[in-house]
Structure 1
């Protein structure tokens, strides 16, 4: 099973939202809607989108005011999609932290291309890799697929979310708290037992010998590490 990237569509015009949501859904994204600034900030907290598409002409708040708030409150990549085509508006949005700017009316193919670029940049901006191979397992973070020995591996969305966190920074210890905040973003209380159960299930699916794991290593009392052999070993 492939876990879909989530894109938040923030626009007060219903027909524009429907167009964008339909375009994203056909491209296999999970599209979430917000009709105003209040809803947008709420969706950011509950949905943790990978990318946000922001219209500047919102009814309850100017979209430019939202740009720094979105960047400060989340790691979401932000693309402004607005009818405001003046150069100073574009510069202002980018200076405030927007990652890209697309002017309405737009071509839907171009919109999807901008989203794909945003996702690639999101993965690589902190030094992460788009894809990596460990033992006989290949993890593609952009496509969100896992292949072992040339055959696709079926992972649940939560299993994939755990593996994604580890694969973004191979050989680095990722703490229990960091992983759980990513996998269960809507829950106020996390239980490490749930995470351990997910890791056990993951090892059954990707390790050659789950009892002697070579891919996902446990750092006792701290977290987990995706082990990537260094060059020459």
Structure 2
């Protein structure tokens, strides 16, 4: 599994701290990786994606901290307010109102992880975070790495990579075969494994709708509305979760 090389800070550590005038936060610097982003429609993608996830999950590294709430729970959301008069004449108001039943179906799937299932996960394995190089794939953006369940990260990856134009069952089966060969043992449960993806989706929609209506952040309204429209247009169906799980189950069983 390849990732960008860390560039040490002046003191030798991997994290440098910004001046207080710039917020005082910690930053990390990595080598630049040249190359195009991975493509779901590339014939070699299922094998490479399965190998990447299988190696990562096969390590089963202990997670030092609890999961981020973003992936595990939902904020209390007044959807009628967000999609009601406050959003009148906004370009996304009607789409959000029409999407409320689907958002509630996704919300019903959100459950906390079982503590014994938690390992260290990347948590953002998507096409834009994978660079194709002459040495193979390089996985970027490790900044969100943290506690997660292998089956939930696997489910999210399969959804992101192979459902944009309908569920690509052949690609999912090929990914799972490579995943098993690389040491991955996660099994998708259609009722639990998609909880992280559902939580992320619902939380993102709520956050962008709130931001788009917040007068204190007018400079961010356009970006929030664009993100909201994209998320609502691509809102997954629970039936899609079940279809992905069915194709994943058709792959070879995990080794004993």
Asked if Structure 1 and Structure 2 have the same fold, meaning a TM-score greater than 0.5 normalized by the shorter chain, the answer is no
TM-score (norm 1): 0.28
Greater percentage in helix: 2
Greater percentage in strand: 1
TM-score (norm 2): 0.26
Compare relative contact order (CA 8 Å, sep 6+) and give the higher one, 1 or 2: 2
